[in-house]
Structures are given as C-alpha cells and as structure tokens.
Structure 1
Amino acid sequence: MAAAATPLGFIGLGMMGLPMARSLLRHGRALVACDPSEAARDALSEGAGAGAVRFAATPAGVAETAETVVLVLPDSKAVAQVVEGPGGLLAALRPGHLVVDMGSSLPAETRRLAAAAAERGAAFLDAPVSGGVAKARDGTLAIMLGGDDEPCARAEPVLREMGAPPIRTGPVGSAHAMKALNNYVYAAGLLAAAEAVRMAEALGLDLHVFTDVLNASSGRNVATETKLKSDVLTGRYAAGFQLGLMRKDLETAGSIAAETGLDAPGLSLCRALWAEAVEKLGPRVDNLEIHRFLGQRETAPR
C-alpha cells in the first residue's frame, strides 16, 4: 500500500501505545518503533506483515528514518527524556520533521518542547486521546489536536487511522490542557457515582435499579452509563485506565489551576482522594477501584 512506502515513527508500546500502533498497521502503515520492553516489541511484531515493522535502538534512530514520529508515553517526564535525553529525538530533528505527542502531558512542558523543536525547523504537536484501551484496540479513540494549521493538516491522516477525526483545540499545548480538564470532569463524575452507589448500598437499595434511575435522570454521566453495571457493581474494575494515571491527570489539571490562579475546591478534593487511593491501592490498579477504596475508608466522624 502507498501508506507503507514511508515509515512512520512510533515510540511507546505500553497499554495504549501497543493497540494504537496495531491500528496503524491495519491501515497499511510501515512502522519504525522504539520501546525498551522486549515483550512489547515482540507483541507488535506478532502478526505484522513482512517488513511492516522494524525497531530502532534509540529515539534518534527513529527520527533518522521517519519524518513523522508519534509518541505515546505516560507523562511529561518520559516525553522530555525521549526528546532531550541521551539518544533523544531533538538532536536528530531537522526541517520537515513532525513530532506528535499523544500522551497526557503538562501543557507548559509541551509548549517548551515545541519551542525547542521549532529551533531545529521541526513541528511538535499535542494530540492526546480519550476512550481507553478498548477504543485504542478498535481504532475509535477521541483525539484532540493542538498546533499550527500546516503541521496539524499533515498529522490528521495518521490520527484518523487511530480514531475519529481529531478535534482542533487551538495552539500547541491546548489539547493537553483540554484533555486534563476533561479527565478532571470524568473523575468528579465517577467519584460522585461511586459515593452514591455506596450510600444506596448502605440503604439496602437495588443497585441495578438505582443505576437505571441515574441513567434516566439528571445524574447520568459516562461513568453511570458505561461503568457502573459492567465494572463497579460486579467488582470487575476493568476499564483499562490505571488509578495512577488518573491521579497524574488530576495533578496536571491542578497545574492549570495554579497557572491560571483559579481556586478550584472540587479539583482539590478529587486530587486529595485520588492521591490517598493511590497510596492505599497502588498506581497500577484500575481507576474504577476508587469505588473499592471508598468502601474501605473509615467512616468520617460525626
């Protein structure tokens, strides 16, 4: 296929990155990838067509072959290491290069790295996603996209192979800001739903009927619609998004509150509760285990 003629760089084959890379392969892309995990590299190679995947030892090695490089990394610290660390992308960037950060990064850091890339004639965009592992597997992610018009237009065909047409959010850094604020709103809705379920349970109410009432009424949100019956009431807790990553996104939202000088007490409450939950349950459990955490907390003194 024509798309396979020019390889696409892909760095980060974790829980989200691996299915996103596989989605690109299904669309006929050839990938030059980089990830320290041998298991992740083997998983990407498995089932791929002949010559569809090859690996570079360093991020710089990816940029030496691919003009467009997608990053799917856990946080800004990891992005900075990949871009600026030993063997990093920055030293290999040249005019015409396009770097697309599809993780959830700090907006201020994204703007800083974009400026560093621009000094070398390259473009750096932010394109975080929403939808979790299931939509990453299906190639149906919601994607936000921040940056100038010309590089965004170049990135869109690639992004459409991993999800819906991207929503343009404005200048570079705006997409990461909107993603963090979106996840705060989700976390607040999930917290309210989990607390309400715990109270309904204590009253002896039918929790399935209560969920139906929420979803037919003004309390409806994405957590009540897609998570309560399948994952919370069953104790399955398998939404595919880690508790620690939710805490990280809430901290990013907190950095935005600090940057803007806005007092956000609801956000402060969510940050405190998620920090406590991560301390008690660990960062790798599913974010829906906030419901289990609430059940384990000591009852507040009356």
Structure 2
Amino acid sequence: MTEFKRIAFIGLGQMGLPMAKNLVAGGFPVIGFDAYEQARVAAAGEGIEVVSSLNEAVEGADCIITMLPNGKIVQDAVLGGDAFLKANAGAVLLEMSSSAPTDTRVLSDKVSPHLRVVDAPVSGGVKRAVSGSLTIMAGGETEALNQAMPVLDCLASSVFACGPVGAGHAMKSINNFVSGAGVIAAVEAVTLGTAFGLSADTIIDVLNASSGKNNATDVKMKQFVLSGTFASGFALGLMAKDIGIAAELANDLGLNLSGLKQTSTVWNEAAEAIGNGADHTRIYEFLAKSSV
C-alpha cells in the first residue's frame, strides 16, 4: 500500500472514472473532482467521494492525479489560482493525461519544488481501464516514481519507467503514432482487397495469421469496423491529437519523418471531416470515401 494519505483525482470521464473506482477498490484514499457536475454525480453514484471544487480536492493532498483531455487544460487547472500550492509540500503530481512532453516539462518547472511531477500516460482504452490492466509509460525522478508505484500498479498490468519528466508523454505519442498508422494500413488493406474481390473477413483472418498482424487487425477491424459498431471507446480527435504531439516533437527535434507527417495529416483531415468526438475507428468511413 502507498504512504499517500489523500489522493486528489482530477478528471472523472470515460477513463478517469474506472481508474478512480479501481483505486477506491484497492483501498486508496481518493477524493474526486471533475469540472462537469454530471461527471461528479456519476462518480458519486459509483461510490467515489467527490467534492465540488478543484481547490477542495487538492487541499492537503499528497498525491494529485490528472486525467484530462490535454496538457493545456492540466496547466490551467493546476496553475490557475495557484491551486497546486494547496497540496502538501513535496506531493506527487501524477499527470496521466495525453499531453505534449514539452508542456509537461513546463508544468514541472512551474510547480517545482512544491510538487514533484511524474508523467504517466496510459494505453489500453476504457476496457483495460475498467479491468485495471492498462499499460503505463512513466517519466520522472526515481524517488517520486517509486513512491507512486503502488498507485500505478493498481491501475496497470505493465508500468514502464521511460526516463526523466516528459519521457512518458513522449512515449505515449510515439505509441499512438504506430497504432494510428496501423489502423490506416489495416483499413486500406481491406479497401484494396475487397476491390479486388476478396472477402473482408478473409483479409483480416490472413493478416492475423501472418506478418501483417497488428493491433488494428487483431482487436479493431472485425470487432468495430467490419461489424459497423464503431464503438472502441477512443475518440478520433484524441488519436489525431496524440499523433500530432509526436509530429510536433519530431519538428522540435529537427527530424524529417515523412511517414509520421503523412499519418498525422490523414488523422487531422479525418477528424475535421467526421468530427473529433466520433469513435476513432470511423476513420474507415473517411478513408473509404477518399479512396474513390
């Protein structure tokens, strides 16, 4: 068990709520907050102690977990009105949102030394958030990460220490670049094969038994695309954002990565055409129209 006596969990949405529930079930002292009253009501109905203001949640906390849409929102929340100063000195800020690594380092500089930042974004979607089997990529100083490890272990089946602050968010964006590129490849493979006369099911079956297998062919194409359900639980706009973070990181590092640029462009165009809130597997519809 952790030595944390009060964990402020900020962001009780699709991912945050099941994560907070798992912490409560694991015996952790969680106080929840979300800017949306509907989310707070839903969390309270799931047995989570919630409060009506950010300051009230953070007051006296020795661990703050942020699970918010992006790093800018995290900064607005944590730095707005110096909310972070209401936490105990030396508290750990577990930044679990999908944020830009540069933003994370800026945040760390601004809250230090009062808070110690560990960026710990997740992979696995809502299903694995519910089961407590996420993959977590963490960046931060060793002492803070070790202190937070019981919390992370409660949420994940795998936790990877990736390096200093920002390394976790860099790794998350790289992962989603590869994931997003795989979705495009799988969708275009089905488009190409069916145009020739192959069965879509056969294409996926062969890919999954061959070297073309990837996450999209394995757990997305039949389940959410070919079935027409488009209900993976991960938004198209979030995928576009995460891949965009990787593209921005490449630019910052002076790298010309044409595959990453093209992948980011396709996802951004799909988000603009279909809508940020659509399930990310609906990129199938965008690519299908673009192919003719």
TM bucket, shorter chain: over 0.9
1:76 matched to 2:75? The reply is: no
Aligned residue number for residue 207 of structure 1: 200
The corresponding residue for 2:106 is 112
Change (3 A) 1:206 1:42: same
User: Contact (CA 8 Å) 1:126, 1:172: kept in 2 or not?
Assistant: yes
Paired residues, number: 292
Instruction: Give the match for residue 27 of structure 1.
Output: 26
Aligned position for 1:89: 83
Provide the residue aligned with 1:273 in structure 2: 266
Tell me the secondary structure at the aligned position of residue 95 of structure 1: coil
Secondary structure, aligned partner of 1:220: coil
- Superposed, which structure 2 residues align to 1:27-176 within 5 Å? 27-48=26-47, 53-58=49-54, 60-86=55-81, 88-120=82-114, 122-176=115-169
Unaligned segments of structure 2, at least 5 residues: none
Aligned to 2:13: 14
Which residue, 163, 174, 182 being the options, matches 1:189? 182
CA contact (8 A) 1:214 1:224 kept: yes
Overall identity of the aligned pairs, in %:
39
Q: Name the Cα RMSD after superposition.
A: 1.7
Q: Cα distance, 1:47 vs. partner? A: 3.8
Q: CA 1:223 to 1:212, structure 2 compared with 1: closer, same or farther past 3 Å?
A: same
Counterpart CA distance in 2 for 1:123 and 1:203 is 56
Letter in 2 for 1:44: A
Distance 1:56 1:30 in 2: 17
Q: Structure 1 length as normaliser, TM-score?
A: 0.92
The corresponding residue for 1:245 is 238
The aligned counterpart of 1:283 is 276
Moved more, 37-46 or 136-145: 37-46
| Residue identity opposite 1:168 in structure 2 | A
CA-to-aligned-CA distance 1:187-245 (integer Å, 9 cap, x gap): 11110000111111212211111111101111110111111111111111111110000
Aligned partner of residue 19 in structure 2, secondary structure: helix
Task: Report if aligned partners of 2:141, 2:164 keep a CA contact under 8 Å in 1.
Answer: yes
1:5, CA displacement in angstroms? 8.7
**In structure 2, what is the Cα distance between the partners aligned to 1:139 and 1:13?**
15
Q: TM-score, normalised by structure 2?
A: 0.95
Q: How big is each residue's C-alpha offset from its partner over 1:72-111, in whole Å with a ceiling of 9 and x where there is no partner?
A: 011011111111123x533324422110000111101111
Q: Aligned pair in 2 of structure 1 residues 279, 150: CA closer, same or farther (>3 Å)?
A: same
Q: What amino acid is the match of 2:263?
A: C
